[in-house]
Structure 1
Amino acid sequence: MPMDLSIEKINLEGTISSEIVKIIKDNLLNGNLRPGDKLPTEKELMEQIGVSRTPVREAVKILEAIGVIQIKRGEGMYITNNLSHFSLNPLIFSLILHSNDMEALIQFRQHFEVLLMNMIITKDDKDIHAIENVYQSQIDRMTTELSPAQLVEIDLEFHYAVLEATNNPFVIEIGKTIYEIIKPKMIHFKNSQSIERTLATHKFYLDLISGKREFDSTRIVQDMIKNNEEMVND
């Protein structure tokens, strides 16, 4: 049976969906919610919190994307039994609460990815074969028949391969979380026309990592941010 949530006053200066995510986070941290617990329905959440359906659904999508809640068809929403230590990390929830600032999110992601490439380039024993293999497979697999969600999944395989090539567990965990948070926004603007841009971006990354292009971090970040802004606004 779903329980009533412990709810503090909502800060109306922020986005309502982010405030709902914060409510769930606080209830997990204070023990009012535990793994396996059933959550109130969307309608019940609307009534308990005093908000409309739209921000509730947005919050649910965010929480589902990062693995905090699980939706069981015909049964309802549950706190997952497989909560990782990262799901409740204050840093992760801080990223979630600020994820509606698209400009800042794009900027942060690009600086982070330049860090990844620099880490790989400066490794004495760098191995980029896995990244190259993913890129080559994407050329064949990214077709116009695929849905935006499918295109994003294939797109992210490349970025996960870059993460793994750093061999740094801190970077890998933070990177995975960043991509999970940004994934819903990527799906929103991903379409068949963006396939060529995606592949060109990945080829650019590969050329930088393999040393075929000069690594000028300032110029690279500027170019990457411009590319993502253009994609979002297309």
Structure 2
Amino acid sequence: MQFEKLTTSHKISTEIVTAIKNKLLDGSLKNGDKLPTEAEMVEQLGVSRTPVREAIKVLESIGVIQIKRGEGMYITNNPSHFSLNPLIFSLIMHSNNTEKLVEFRQHFEILIINMIRAKWSLEKVKKIEEVYLSQVERLKPELSPEELAMIDLEFHYAVLDATENAFVIEIGKTIYELYKPKMIAAKQSSNIEQTLKTHKAYLDLLLQKDLVVSEKQIDEMIEYNQEWLEKD
């Protein structure tokens, strides 16, 4: 596999992702194909090592690239059901705009709340509550950032499933895949109390099926997520 040199004024790591996306979409790259080494990509693309690493990190985090120690980088043989979806690549192009990503996610979650309420059942909400109660027991300071992030996401995946809408579930999982690397970077044991507090507030909104979600609540959700997501 050979890549052409980049000539662009856009974010270089984004352009590298685009180059790989285009080769996947036109069939030049297929599941299981081996990619050039990091050094070879630097030379072929005519860029520095840093944006190549950034692009690889993004593609690995969403399951497009699999790195096999001692062997190299491969297009995954077993992609998740959304890994090669054009939607995920389109959103990657904008994922460096943290403010807009946070804003979209929180308004998207208000949509989710309203959808669950439209076909509200105590059984659905109880399933989400079970996940929350499990988190109360399992979120411990000694866990790694990766473990903290994955347990955190279980709550949001349970909320997505409660919509029983394939479009919402697909888009929601895509958004969380974009979020996950930054969540892992930001996760600390000191965040546990705030995470549980936020999830409890979310659960309370679902339990009160007739309560109107206020703009103040939306703003508070956006502000909290932006604060921790933008931490170095």
User: How far has the Cα of 1:227 moved from its partner?
Assistant: 1.0
User: How far has the Cα of 1:118 moved from its partner?
Assistant: 1.0
Aligned to 1:226: 223
Find the aligned partners of 2:40 and 2:157 in 1 and give their Cα distance: 37
Contact preservation (8 Å) 1:207, 1:213: no
Contact preservation (8 Å) 1:189, 1:232: yes
Candidates 45, 53, 58, aligned match of 2:54: 58
TM-score, normalised to structure 2, is: 0.93
Candidates 38, 41, 55, aligned match of 1:42: 38
Cα gap change, 1:170 to 1:212, in 2 (>3 Å): closer
Name the count of aligned residue pairs. 230
Find the aligned partners of 1:9 and 1:57 in 2 and give their Cα distance: 15
Q: Percent identity of the aligned residues?
A: 61
Alignment map for 1:1-234 (pairs within 5 Å):
3-5=1-3, 7=4, 9-12=6-9, 14-83=10-79, 86-125=82-121, 127-211=124-208, 214-233=211-230
Per-residue CA shift, 1:3-50, capped at 9, x if unaligned? Answer: 213x374422x3211111101001111211111100011111111111
Contact preservation (8 Å) 2:6, 2:46: no
User: How far has the Cα of 1:219 moved from its partner?
Assistant: 2.3
Q: Could you say what secondary structure the match of 1:77 adopts?
A: strand
Contact preservation (8 Å) 2:30, 2:75: yes
Per-residue CA shift, 1:114-140, capped at 9, x if unaligned? Answer: 111111112144611221111001111
> Any unmatched runs of 5+ in structure 2?
none
Q: Could you say what secondary structure the match of 1:128 adopts?
A: helix
Structure 1 runs of 4+ off > 6 angstroms?
Answer: none
Find the aligned partners of 1:233 and 1:88 in 2 and give their Cα distance: 27
User: How far has the Cα of 1:211 moved from its partner?
Assistant: 0.2
Cα gap change, 1:10 to 1:203, in 2 (>3 Å): farther
Contact preservation (8 Å) 1:8, 1:23: no
Find the aligned partners of 1:212 and 1:198 in 2 and give their Cα distance: 22
Find the aligned partners of 1:212 and 1:123 in 2 and give their Cα distance: 10
Per-residue CA shift, 1:62-114, capped at 9, x if unaligned? Answer: 11111111111111110112235633332221101110111111111111111
Cα gap change, 1:42 to 1:8, in 2 (>3 Å): closer
